[in-house]
Each structure stands twice: as structure tokens, then as C-alpha cells.
Amino acid sequence: MGELKKRIKAGYKNINNSLSSLITDIKNIKNIGFNLVWERNKSKIIMVFISIIVVSLFLITRFSLSKEEVLNKFQSALINGNSSMLSHYVKLENERVYSKDLQPLIDSYNKDQVRIKKIVNEISENGESGNFTLESKKGFLKEKYYININNVTVKFISNEKNVEIEFSNKRFNLKDEAEFDIVPGFYNLMYTCKTDYGDITNNKILNLMEDDTVEINIDGNYITLYTNFDDSKVFINGIDTGLIAKDIKNYGPIPKDKDIKMYLEKEFPWGIIKSEDVWVNSNQYIKLDINMVNDTLNSMIDEIVNSFYSSSFEALNTKDKNIISNATEEVKTMVYNYINEKTFLLSNNYEITDLTVEIEKSDFKYEDNKYKASLVTKINYSVYKKILPFVKNSNESSFILNLEYEDGTFIIKGIQKVDI
């Protein structure tokens, strides 16, 4: 190094002295003429040019590193995590690369000496290793060596549309897929998926050392709904989704960290009925039924059942089963015959009075596209002779009634005597 300084200093001094004299003559060239300037400074001009050439050749020779020196510098830059130093000895796809663009590569190797030395040894022996290739370029006097880095191609896809991505100083909206050529290395990816129920945001660390496809699966909740009425409307956070229950299959994404409620609503012939509210949270499968019974339906059923039994007893008293209401012909015949047999009614000799009806149990369901009801009913009534109205015989009977909703009302389609 001391010898180098002496040579540079001597060369600089010669150039400086020669230039000083030459510059003085050039300033007076109008007075002394070009030929005189040349004659007086010919040797100096030649000496200046020779000095410049010598110094230039020396510098070129000095700073054109050998293969081994480039590999050592490359190894040292990676081990020390110095992207600025590394940028002097590498190129990206044989083009200049800036130090800031090499930081992902530095981060990927994380100063791992064993791994770095292994790569350098492979390059030294084979001329390449993974993304790195030892290249050379013809210089003025000798070969100029450098490490060429090959780009890797990364493709992004997602299970959702319209996802905002931040990656490697890029910001883009991922609708279908996106593809980029990048320096191999460690990258941070952040995505934001906007939903009707809040944003879903997450980070991913990617180690991209070869061509790869990155699938961005949104970390949200996808729900499937089970209910007894598939055509009921779905409300989330009090807002009509415009969907019906059967549409909620793997529905989402829904943020996991938000308070979200769901309920169902269905219009029945006896009014609109809402289910209970349930929290969605992180539940993947939700069972949510609607109780189809409301006060209006109960009043309707009470009226139909009371009318049925009242008309049945009136039919017995008048000997005309056709006046029995809200029942099929088969049911009319069955109830008429049973009560007639039970009370031993003889033509116009007995009367049935004091009827009371009680629905002890009820079950409603929707089956085969029909609303159906099964009722356990108990009736109490009195039978007396017309000639002895003050002597009454009390009776009690229980029946199971099966009803179906038709043409705006429930019709009794089945009756069965039970002993309770």
C-alpha cells in the first residue's frame, strides 16, 4: 500500500508541474503562437499523457479484482449483512442493482456463515449456486468478475376477489392474480380484505428464493347455516343480506375479531316471525331454527279446534254430520260415529251440552311443502235426557288431531282416540 501511495504521489506531482507550465503557455497562445507552444512544451505534453496512461493502467489493474477476490468480497458482504458493499460485486440479471434492492437477500441469509460459505464454495467449484452465477466481462487489460443474481418470479393468487396487497414497495389490488420478478430473499406481505362487516388484515413473511406461487387465503370466518326453513331471510348485524338461508354455505369471509350477530326472518300466513339472535364469532357451522308458532297461530288453532268440536256435537244433536266444520269427510264420519256410540244417543231423546275443549300438547312443522300440526285435545261434555234435563252424565275424551294448512286455513285430516 505504501508503494502505491508513492507512485500515485509521484505521478500526480509530475502531472501537476507539467500542467502548470503548459497552462501558462496556453493562456499566452495568442501572443506566442501555437507552434511555439508546441515546441516549448512537446516533451511536457508527451510526459503528461504518459503519466496519465500509466496511472490509469495501474488503477485499472489494481481495482479489477480476480475471481477469488470477488468471491471473498461477496462472502464478506453477506456475512456482515452489508447491502451497500454487496452492490459493488453483484448485478441483477447482468444489470446494475442498488443496495436497497438487495436488503431482502441480506435478510434471507441472516448472516448465516455456514450457509453463505457453502454457496461461495459451490460458486467457486461450479461457477454457480442456486440464484447466483459467476460472470466475467472483458476489460481493457483483464477480465472483470462479478456475481450475477437471477430474479425469481412470484405469482399471487387469493381465495377472494378485491384484496389490497402491500409487497416489496408495491401496492396493488389483487382481483384475479398478479406476477412480479423480484430479487430473491425475505419479504413482508400485508393484505387487507374489505367486507360488509369490517376489514380483515394480516401479515405474512415470505422466503422467496425460487419461483413460487403465493396463495393468500383470507383469515376470516366462513359459515354454513342449517335451519328448518331454507327460504327464510338472513339478517347480519340487523341488515338484510339479500340472501336466504340456503345460500349461506361457506359464506364469508367474516372478521373473527368483530361482534357479529345473525338472525332469520320468515313470513308465514299468520305473520312475520323472527328467530333468536346468535353470535357468529368463530363458529363455522350455525344451527338456527325459526319457531313458526306465534300468538296469531295459537288463536287460529284454538278457534278451529273449538269450532270443530262444537259443530261435531251440534251435528250429533241434529243428526247431521255435514255441519261439522274444518274437517275432511273421513274425519267427520269418525268423530260422529265415536261420540254417537259413546253417548248412546237415541233419536231426539238425549242432548249434549257443557262442552269444554283443551289443547294439552301441540307440535307444528313444515313438511312436504305444507304446514302441519299435531294436537292432543281433551273434551269434557254432559249428556242428559230431554225429559230429565237435571240429570246429567259427564264424559271426558281425548283425541289426537292432525291438521294441514290449505287455502288459507287449517283442515283436520286425521283423528285418533287416545286414552290418557
How far is residue 202's CA from residue 405's CA, in Å, rounded to a whole number? 52
pTM above 0.85, yes or no: no
Ordered per-residue pLDDT tens for the chain, 420 residues: 556 556 556 555 655 655 666 666 666 666 666 666 566 666 666 666 666 665 554 444 445 678 999 999 999 999 999 999 999 999 999 999 999 999 999 999 999 999 999 999 999 999 999 999 999 887 655 688 999 999 999 999 998 988 999 998 899 998 878 999 999 999 999 999 999 999 999 999 999 999 999 999 999 999 999 999 999 999 999 999 999 999 999 999 999 888 999 999 999 999 999 999 999 988 899 999 999 999 999 999 999 999 998 898 888 778 888 999 999 999 999 888 877 765 544 444 446 666 788 888 899 999 999 999 999 999 887 766 555 555 566 778 889 999 999 999 999 999 998 876
Whole-Å CA distances, 412 to 35, 62, 331, 374? 133, 109, 7, 10
For domain 295-418, say whether CATH 3.10.450.230 is its number: yes
The residues spanned by each domain of the chain are: 2-63, 67-149, 152-216, 221-287, 295-418
Q: Among 260, 43, 307, which residue's Cα sits nearest to residue 252?
A: 260
- For β-strands 271-274 and 261-268, DSSP reports them as antiparallel
Whose cell is 505521478? That residue is 11
How far is residue 105's CA from residue 102's CA, in Å, rounded to a whole number? 5
Architecture of the domain whose range is 152-216 = Sandwich (2.60)
Same fold, 152-216 and 295-418: no
How far is residue 219's CA from residue 244's CA, in Å, rounded to a whole number? 25
